[in-house]
Amino acid sequence: MSTTLVQAPVAGRAVRLENVPDPVFSAGMVGYGAAVDPARGVVEAVAPVSGKLLKLMPHAYIVMTADNVGVLVHLGLDTVALKGEGFTAHATQGDEVTAGQLIITYDVPAIEAKGLNPIVPVVVMDERESDNVVPSDAVTAGADIDSGADLFTANK
């Protein structure tokens, strides 16, 4: 069994995945994990794990670890509709990245100005067992969390 520590890609308030106001995430349809309600401002979204930047869209990215654990970071809800507005990429799809490396600059006020929720779900892709994802104490408590702090542990 592999254990993957997943770090918060942005600073903010840690949120249980089931409390994300989007059924695709809250019901674990994409996978299980946690979320961060980001600070209001322009924030730097970093890699939550080290690995290959498998997919990079302006509003979301997936990092695949050496143990083949795919971690999705989704910047805001329904933000695909913005077609990249409010997001600046600092990496290229296919890059090898390290945990904590800057991937996207995320303009949270611009997202909110469009009437969208800026919350950042972070999930293990295709994880079907919620028990395989163990939230950190910050997530359990709904506490503030720093970028790079432990968000959850994924067991595969």
Catalytic residues: 74
Report the DSSP pairing between strands 51-57 and 87-89: unpaired
Report the DSSP pairing between strands 102-107 and 133-135: unpaired
Rounded CA separation 12/80 (Å): 22
User: For residues 105, 108, 113 and 119, what is the CA-based torsion angle, rounded to 10 degrees?
Assistant: 120
